[in-house]
């Protein structure tokens, strides 16, 4: 057997450089590169391998560990999970900074390979700088924190362990049903230790995306469920997008009269003007989808996790005879809401059941309900887009200007947290497929800007726009500096509404006094955060990084800023001052939150009564 002697870090790099993914006959180089911040836990080992050895992996310098991992996630999501970045950090705080991003990747089913440095496997110099010491288990390090949020976890204590570990890592990263964060801790001494690796370990490996179909018995059960319904409703989840099943999904909806609502991950898989597209469903959905959902007798959940925002905390479906059929590549998701489980690829399964239904001549019993619901909802969106606010610019008016007039239909919008996901799921009209990029599985503040940077790396021929509130901007925007360094031309549209307004709404909607969510100065005799609003020049912050920035308070300034920004060869920030409380609100939906059972406040008592009334109508599981 022919071998080559190299360090574990050198072997790691050489292996990653030769991994490929094949989907529908097209081959992709799976690992595009590595985002990294060097420290004593990885610079001498993995850093040496990156700098001193020959490879084809792009290295991109991060500025914050969590942020660069969000960039890796944004890249992989926009490449439809066909290509990924690895991320590497030093030990201790650098590694722990990535745990939030790892959870975000796992919840959203997005592949990211985490390579945190680790403390010495030999333990001789323990305790070393930045080491977390566990007094009863010396095997525990900071990297054990990744275990609950990773789909695969390992630590390389000996260089030869790398071989089996990486093969299992690729198994998970390339599996549509199991993918998410994969974490391999790399102790700093082991990184530099050498081993005689077999040449065969570094051969080109091609992982093939399989498209499992339903067996005949399961297909018959699914056909019977659909054919036995009169008013079914489909949900278009992220799995439809990742399966590239949008065309089939749309054809099935049209042929059989199947209306559908969109999740945050599924939105944009089909264009907004599809005749059977009801738009967003659930807590952040619109009235059209939620009204039709209320009376549906069959829910066909395709590629969705059925989270509480999609199901309106399981109150959206009020028909007592409702049945649920879940089509999902992931068996875990397919059993939610006590669904009849149909495990398979969305594109294949939809094609299979369409053929069966076609042979029966079946079509839903909907007449004009869907078109009427769509027409009414479109009028409401038009109203929100054109609504005048005497106090200034409303958030929905800004979104309307961007969506209808200023952005190109092929531009991609990225967001994740605050009030913008609700507004955008309700009113953003996608005219091209895959131009809506929302992280709402974890709704991680700080994702917006950093993931948009990664998405722009994935889409050099399209413009990416990060839609972020002032809260999300302040939380994490470090990769703006990386975008300046790399001259990556994406645009940040910052909606400044003086703080965490969506949570302030949640607070006050449950009868609680508004406190500590708006950004106000501490003042007054009681010294509470109830003073004047903080006035922040976010454009100046961006300019300090070298970002081209614009300040916007009027529609004309917005139009001018967006038009001029398209000519800038580098990152742009548009600081838009919007009026507080100018976001959209609920449409025929409800979200369960914990309201105090005991309170002296009459408004809180009323909110708890409202909670108990709603709980009488929810599906229990």
How much of the chain, in percent, has pLDDT values that exceed 70? 100
pLDDT of residue 419: 96
Taking each helix axis as running N to C, give the angle between helix 246-256 and helix 346-360, from 0 to 180 degrees, rounded to the nearest 10: 20
Which residue intervals of 193-334 are DSSP H helices? 216-227, 238-242, 246-256, 287-295, 308-311, 331-334
Contact yes or no for 56/83 (Cβ under 8 A): no
Place 110 in a pLDDT band, splitting at 50, 70 and 90: very high
Contact yes or no for 475/448 (Cβ under 8 A): no
pLDDT of residue 388: 87
pLDDT of residue 170 exceeding 80: yes
Q: What is the distance of C-alpha 418 from the center of its chain? A: 14
* Average pLDDT of the chain to the nearest whole number: 97
Task: Report DSSP letters for 385-452, one per residue.
Answer: HH--BTTBB-HHHHHHHIIIIIS-TT-EEEE-STTHHHHHHHH----STT-EEE--SS--TTHHHHHH
DSSP 3-state assignment of 528? strand
Separation between Cα atoms, residue 382 and residue 61, nearest integer Å: 43
Q: Which residues contact 282 (CB under 8 A, 6 or more apart)?
A: 261, 263, 289, 290, 309, 310, 311, 312, 316, 589
Q: What is the distance of C-alpha 75 from the center of its chain? A: 11
pLDDT of residue 527 exceeding 90: no
Contact yes or no for 55/30 (Cβ under 8 A): no
Contact yes or no for 289/588 (Cβ under 8 A): no
| CATH code of the domain made up of 388-498+534-577 | 3.40.50.970
* Stretch 174-178: mean pLDDT: 97
pLDDT of residue 524: 75
Please tell me the chain's helix, strand, coil percentages from 3-state DSSP, rounded to the nearest 5. Answer: 40, 20, 40
Q: Which two tokens stand for residue 443?
A: 């709704």
Q: Which of 303, 277, 255, 235 is nearest to 377 (CA)?
A: 277
DSSP 3-state assignment of 176? coil
Q: Which of 65, 181, 40 is nearest to 482 (CA)?
A: 65
Q: Write the pLDDT tens digit of every residue in 219-255.
A: 999 999 999 999 999 999 999 999 999 999 999 999 9
Q: Which two tokens stand for residue 559?
A: 């139009």
Separation between Cα atoms, residue 394 and residue 308, nearest integer Å: 28
Q: Write the pLDDT tens digit of every residue in 406-453.
A: 999 999 999 999 999 999 999 999 999 999 999 999 999 999 999 999
DSSP 3-state assignment of 531? coil
How much of the chain, in percent, has pLDDT values that exceed 90? 97
Q: Which residues contact 390 (CB under 8 A, 6 or more apart)?
A: none
pLDDT of residue 525 exceeding 90: no
Name the residue with tokens 């549906």.
296
Place 523 in a pLDDT band, splitting at 50, 70 and 90: confident
Q: What is the distance of C-alpha 591 from the center of its chain? A: 20
Contact yes or no for 316/290 (Cβ under 8 A): yes
pLDDT of residue 85: 98
DSSP 330: S
Separation between Cα atoms, residue 489 and residue 484, nearest integer Å: 9
pLDDT of residue 275: 98
Q: Which of 490, 486, 451, 496 is nearest to 572 (CA)?
A: 490
| CATH code of the domain made up of 3-208 | 3.40.50.970
3-state helix/strand/coil string of 85-144: EEEEECCCHHHHCCHHHHHHHHHCCCCEEEEEEECCCCCCCCCCCCCCCCCCCCCCCHHH
C-alpha distances out from residue 383 to 282, 346, 386, 427, Å: 21, 36, 5, 10
Q: Which residues contact 167 (CB under 8 A, 6 or more apart)?
A: none
Instruction: Note the residue count of the chain.
Output: 621
Q: H or E segment at 7?
A: strand 3-7
Place 598 in a pLDDT band, splitting at 50, 70 and 90: very high
pLDDT of residue 320: 96
Q: Which two tokens stand for residue 228?
A: 């036995």
For domain 216-373, say whether CATH 3.40.50.1220 is its number: yes
Q: Write the pLDDT tens digit of every residue in 123-156.
A: 999 999 999 999 999 999 999 999 999 999 999 9
Greatest extent of the chain over all pairs of C-alpha atoms, in Å: 80
pLDDT of residue 286: 97
pLDDT of residue 290: 98
Cis before residue 127, ω within 30 degrees of 0? yes
Give, in degrees to the nearest 5, the angle at Cα 525 between 521 and 527: 40
Look at phi and psi of residue 361 and say left if phi exceeds 0, alpha if psi is from -120 to 50, else beta: left
Q: Write the pLDDT tens digit of every residue in 278-309.
A: 999 999 999 999 999 999 999 999 999 999 99
- Positive or negative, the CA dihedral 11, 13, 17, 21 is positive
Q: Which of 154, 162, 164 is nearest to 185 (CA)?
A: 154
Q: Which two tokens stand for residue 91?
A: 């030990």
- Positive or negative, the CA dihedral 476, 581, 420, 330 is positive
Contact yes or no for 109/87 (Cβ under 8 A): no
C-alpha distances out from residue 132 to 92, 98, 155, 379, Å: 7, 16, 16, 57
Q: Write the pLDDT tens digit of every residue in 331-373.
A: 999 999 999 999 999 999 999 999 999 999 999 999 999 999 9
Separation between Cα atoms, residue 63 and residue 611, nearest integer Å: 44
- The pTM of this model reads 0.97
Separation between Cα atoms, residue 585 and residue 251, nearest integer Å: 32
Q: Write the pLDDT tens digit of every residue in 377-417.
A: 999 999 999 988 888 999 999 999 999 999 999 999 999 99
Query: How many other C-beta atoms lie within 10 A of the C-beta of residue 463?
Result: 18
pLDDT of residue 100 exceeding 80: yes
């Amino acid at each position: 057997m022919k071998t080559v002697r190299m360090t574990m870090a050198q072997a790691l790099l050489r292996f990653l450089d030769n991994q490929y993914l094949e989907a529908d006959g097209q081959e992709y180089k799976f690992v595009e590169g590595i985002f990294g911040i060097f420290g004593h836990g990885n610079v001498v080992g993995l850093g040496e391998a990156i700098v001193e050895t020959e490879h084809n992996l792009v290295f991109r310098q991060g500025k914050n560990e969590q942020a660069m991992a969000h960039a890796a996630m944004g890249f992989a999501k926009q490449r439809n999970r066909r290509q990924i970045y690895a991320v590497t950090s030093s030990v201790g705080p650098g590694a722990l900074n990535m745990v939030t991003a790892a959870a975000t990747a796992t919840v959203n089913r997005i592949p990211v390979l985490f390579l945190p440095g680790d403390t010495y496997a030999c333990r001789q110099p323990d305790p070393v700088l930045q080491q977390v010491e566990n007094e009863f288990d010396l095997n525990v390090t900071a990297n054990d924190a990744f275990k609950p949020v990773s789909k695969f976890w390992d630590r390389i204590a000996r260089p030869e362990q790398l071989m089996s570990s990486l093969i299992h890592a690729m198994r998970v990263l390339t599996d549509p049903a199991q993918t998410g964060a994969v974490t391999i801790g790399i102790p700093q001494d082991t990184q530099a230790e050498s081993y005689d690796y077999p040449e065969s370990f570094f051969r080109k490996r091609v992982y093939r995306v399989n498209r499992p179909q339903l067996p005949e018995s399961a297909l018959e059960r699914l056909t019977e469920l659909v054919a036995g319904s009169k008013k079914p409703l489909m949900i278009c989840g992220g799995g439809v997008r990742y399966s590239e099943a949008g065309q089939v999904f749309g054809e099935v909806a049209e042929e059989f009269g199947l209306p559908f609502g969109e999740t945050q991950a599924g939105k944009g898989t089909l264009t907004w003007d599809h005749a059977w597209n009801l738009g967003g469903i659930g807590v952040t959905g619109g009235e059209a989808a939620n009204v039709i959902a209320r009376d549906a007798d069959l829910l066909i959940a395709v590629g969705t996790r059925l989270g509480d925002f999609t199901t309106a905390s399981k109150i959206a479906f009020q028909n007592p005879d409702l049945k649920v059929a879940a089509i999902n590549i992931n068996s875990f998701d397919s059993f939610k809401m006590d669904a009849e489980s149909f495990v398979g690829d969305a594109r294949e399964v939809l094609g299979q059941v369409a053929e069966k239904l076609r042979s029966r001549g079946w079509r839903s019993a909907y007449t004009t309900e869907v078109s009427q619901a769509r027409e009414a909802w479109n009028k409401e969106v038009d109203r929100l887009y054109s609504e005048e606010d005497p106090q200034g610019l409303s958030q929905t008016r800004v979104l309307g200007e961007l969506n209808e007039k200023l952005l190109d239909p092929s531009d991609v919008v990225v967001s994740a947290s605050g009030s913008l996901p609700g507004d955008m799921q309700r009113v953003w009209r996608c005219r091209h497929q895959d131009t809506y990029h929302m992280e709402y599985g974890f709704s991680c503040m700080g994702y917006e800007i950093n993931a948009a940077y990664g998405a722009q790396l994935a889409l050099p021929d399209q413009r990416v726009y990060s839609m972020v509130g002032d809260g999300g901007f302040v939380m994490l925007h470090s990769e703006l500096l990386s975008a300046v360094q790399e001259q990556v031309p994406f645009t940040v549209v910052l909606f400044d509404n003086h703080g965490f307004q969506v949570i302030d709404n949640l607070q006050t909607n449950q009868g609680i006094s508004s406190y500590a969510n708006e950004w106000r100065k501490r003042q007054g005799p009681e010294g509470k955060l109830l003073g004047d609003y903080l006035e922040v020049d976010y454009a100046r912050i961006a300019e300090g990084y070298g970002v081209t920035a614009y300040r916007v308070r009027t529609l004309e300034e917005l139009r001018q800023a967006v038009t001029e920004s398209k000519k800038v060869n580098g990152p742009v920030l548009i600081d838009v001052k919007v009026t507080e409380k100018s976001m959209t609100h609920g449409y025929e939906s409800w979200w369960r939150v914990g309201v105090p059972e005991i309170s002296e406040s009459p408004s809180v008592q009323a909110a708890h009564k409202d909670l108990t009334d709603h709980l009488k109508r929810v599906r229990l599981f």
